[in-house]
């Protein structure tokens, strides 16, 4: 028995050593077309393409969860030359991808089917492994004479496609680069298996089961049987899914025991992820699919608080506010100390025009330690609608101080300060709002008006800095 255990341990050790040796040898001997700095420049360019093509979901509950899981994987992976960032793109297409220099994206359509944290962790670990191995950068060796901006368009096109198709030939190809050259940059079967080898090791170190990755890959694969036009983008950008499933299944058989518990799979973690996923489906998921899912859960268990909550969120989006109120009040009755549920009940009261109920409910959410910016946002707006203008201004000032990346707070603060006659502040806040919305001409207008009207030297200095940072407006064409 002892000899068997030793042989099993030795086999695992030799396999791990072989993976690490191959990885180190490949990264040491393969010439990279890009330096670390050049790869970071490329990553920034790709980010610009992605930002222009799609909207991001910036809700902190969702982004904090994605980043928390991503950071756990990175901690297991060890020191990295890049600063990783994680994003959720709002599109129904099944896909996840990582750009050079560590920007990792998950499409909302794929997040919808990730019911557990280990499924999310499995996908993130695989994408992080692509960055660690610098798979795209190594392929750029064959395109080293092409400008960074051109390469950025090709890299983005591989993963974004046109109209969600996702094929490399549909890339956002710019310049004279042909489809064949953009295809050269996409992942190979060898890349995919290596990303799984490295990703599974980091996944295990972070305390997650590989079964989550196996389950989500099977869910993605199941979609391909609906017709060639329905093949998920993930399968086009990440080939060799059958080989990957076989490899992961074998890895699990050798490294995980049936019924084994994992450090990251605690009851608290399961509840936290389930709440986030319910919120995500209710606020951003496909309406019809989310409604059916929550109704099915309630049919099985009429008292399921998360299903009541999720259906309430769907009903708000559908404009059925009275029905939504019944669902949310039921959910709160089961979970009275949850600030997130209270936040959305308070938001619903605001939408119904019940200002005092909204104020009372949102204050309760704050008292329970609620951290979501919408608590302060709808509290301030409810106070404003109730005629409590000064309190509303104070609340919205707390909002932009605590959550400076919440643009709508600046807009309504600008409106309220203008209402009380503080025009320099009103133009300043509106300028910040438009700056964060990337509407530079509007931002410039309001900053200039604020500069003209204020006598505050500190505010003047701040406004001049903002104006100097804005791109200069294009000169009008001459008609002489």
CA angle 150, 152, 158 (to 5 degrees): 110
Sheet holding 103-107, edge to edge: 85-89, 103-107, 96-99
Band (pLDDT 50/70/90 cuts) for residue 465 is very high
Domain membership flag for residue 297: no
pLDDT at 157: 62
Domain assignment present for residue 356? The answer is no
Does residue 23 fall inside a structural domain? no
Query: What's the CA gap between 108 and 114, in Å, rounded?
Result: 10
Q: Is the pLDDT at 53 greater than 60, yes or no?
A: yes
- 353 pLDDT more than 80: yes
Q: What is the pLDDT of residue 474?
A: 66
**Banded pLDDT at 405 (limits 50, 70, 90):** very high
Half-sphere exposure of 281 (CA within 13 A, CB side): 24
- Taking only the tens place, the pLDDT of each residue in 292-306 is 999 999 999 999 999
**DSSP codes of every residue in 155-183:** HHHHHH-STT---GGGS---TT--HHHHH
User: Mean pLDDT for the chain?
Assistant: 84
Which pTM does this prediction carry? 0.84
Distance between CA atoms of 174 and 149, rounded to whole angstroms? 9
Virtual torsion, Cα 258, 263, 269, 273, nearest 10 deg: -60
For residue 99, the model assigns a pLDDT of 83
Q: Is 164 left (phi over 0), alpha (psi -120 to 50) or beta?
A: left
Query: Per the domain annotation, does 392 fall within a domain?
Result: no
Q: What is the model's pLDDT at position 138? A: 73
Whether 205 is covered by a domain: the verdict is: yes
Alpha-carbon span 245 to 189, nearest angstrom: 12
Sign of CA dihedral 180, 185, 190, 192: negative
Q: Report the domain count for the chain.
A: 1
DSSP result, 355-379: HHHHHHHHHHHHHTT---HHHHHHH
Per residue in 76-128, pLDDT tens?
999 999 999 999 999 888 888 888 889 999 999 999 999 999 999 999 999 99
211 occurs within a structural domain:
yes
Tell me how far apart the alpha carbons of residues 187 and 191 are, in angstroms, rounded to a whole number.
6
Which of 171-175, 373-377, 449-453 is the least confident region?
Answer: 171-175
What is the tens place of the pLDDT at every residue in 124-154? 999 999 999 887 777 666 555 555 665 566 6
- The SS3 call for residue 75 is helix
Is the per-residue pLDDT at 462 higher than 50? yes
Q: Which residues pair with 105 in a beta bridge?
A: 87, 97
283 assigned to some structural domain: no
Rounded to whole angstroms, what are the CA distances from 447 to 123, 170, 431? 43, 41, 5
In whole angstroms, give the CA distance from residue 373 to residue 357.
19
Per-residue confidence band for 188, with pLDDT thresholds at 50, 70 and 90: confident
Query: What is the pLDDT, as a whole number, of residue 93?
Result: 83
Cα separation, 295 vs 310, whole angstroms: 9
Place of tokens 């695992």: 12
Q: Which of 15-24, 274-283, 336-345 has the lowest mean pLDDT?
A: 15-24
Q: Which residues contact 187 (CB under 8 A, 6 or more apart)?
A: 130, 135, 195, 237, 238, 239
CA angle 200, 202, 206 (to 5 degrees): 115
Q: Is residue 202 part of a domain?
A: yes
Contact present, 156 and 50 (Cβ < 8 Å): yes
Q: Which residues form the domain of 49?
A: 31-255
CA distance linking residue 360 with residue 330, whole number of Å: 18
Mean pLDDT, rounded, for 448-474: 93
Is residue 436 a contact partner of residue 410, using CB atoms and an 8 Å limit?
Answer: yes
**Backbone angles phi and psi of 347, in degrees to 5:** -65, -40
């Amino acid at each position: 028995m002892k000899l068997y255990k030793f042989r099993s341990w030795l086999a695992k050790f030799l396999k791990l050593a072989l993976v690490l040796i191959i990885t180190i040898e490949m990264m040491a001997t393969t010439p990279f077309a890009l330096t670390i700095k050049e790869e970071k420049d490329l990553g920034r360019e790709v980010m610009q393409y992605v930002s222009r093509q799609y909207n991001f979901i910036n809700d902190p509950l969702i982004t904090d969860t994605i980043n928390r899981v991503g950071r756990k994987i990175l901690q297991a992976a060890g020191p990295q030359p890049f600063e990783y960032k994680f994003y959720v793109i709002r599109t129904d297409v099944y896909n996840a991808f990582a750009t050079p220099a560590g920007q990792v994206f998950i499409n909302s359509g794929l997040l919808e089917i990730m019911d557990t944290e280990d499924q999310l962790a499995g996908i993130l670990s695989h994408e992080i492994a692509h960055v660690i191995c610098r798979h795209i950068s190594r392929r750029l060796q064959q395109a080293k004479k092409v400008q960074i901006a051109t390469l950025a368009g090709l890299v983005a096109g591989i993963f974004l496609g046109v109209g969600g198709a996702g094929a490399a030939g549909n890339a956002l190809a710019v310049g004279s680069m042909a489809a064949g050259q953009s295809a050269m940059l996409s992942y190979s079967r060898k890349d995919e298996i290596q990303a799984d080898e490295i990703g599974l090791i980091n996944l295990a170190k972070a305390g997650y089961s590989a079964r989550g990755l196996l389950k989500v890959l099977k869910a993605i694969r199941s979609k391909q049987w609906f017709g060639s036009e329905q093949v998920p983008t993930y399968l086009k950008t990440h080939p060799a899914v059958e080989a990957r499933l076989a490899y992961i299944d074998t890895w699990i058989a050798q490294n995980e025991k049936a019924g084994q518990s994992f450090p990251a799979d605690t009851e608290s973690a399961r509840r936290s992820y389930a709440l986030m996923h319910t919120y995500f489906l209710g606020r951003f998921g496909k309406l019809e699919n989310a409604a059916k899912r929550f109704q099915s859960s309630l049919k099985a268990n009429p008292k399921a608080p998360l299903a009541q909550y999720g259906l309430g969120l769907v009903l708000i989006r559908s404009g059925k506010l009275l029905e939504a109120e019944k669902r949310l009040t039921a959910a709160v009755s089961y979970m009275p100390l949850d600030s997130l549920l209270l936040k959305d009940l308070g938001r619903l009261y605001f939408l119904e025009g019940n200002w005092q109920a909204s104020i009372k409910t949102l204050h309760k959410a704050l008292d329970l330690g609620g951290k979501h910016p919408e608590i302060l946002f709808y509290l301030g707006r409810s106070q404003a609608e109730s005629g409590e203008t000064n309190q509303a201004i104070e609340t919205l000032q707390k909002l932009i101080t605590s959550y400076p990346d919440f643009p709508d707070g600046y807009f309504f603060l600008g409106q309220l300060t203008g209402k009380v006659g503080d025009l320099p502040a009103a133009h300043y806040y509106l300028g910040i709002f438009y700056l964060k919305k990337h509407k530079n001409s509007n931002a410039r207008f309001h900053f200039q008006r604020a500069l003209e009207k204020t006598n505050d030297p500190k505010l003047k200095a701040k406004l001049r800095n903002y104006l100097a940072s804005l791109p200069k407006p294009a000169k009008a064409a001459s008609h002489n």
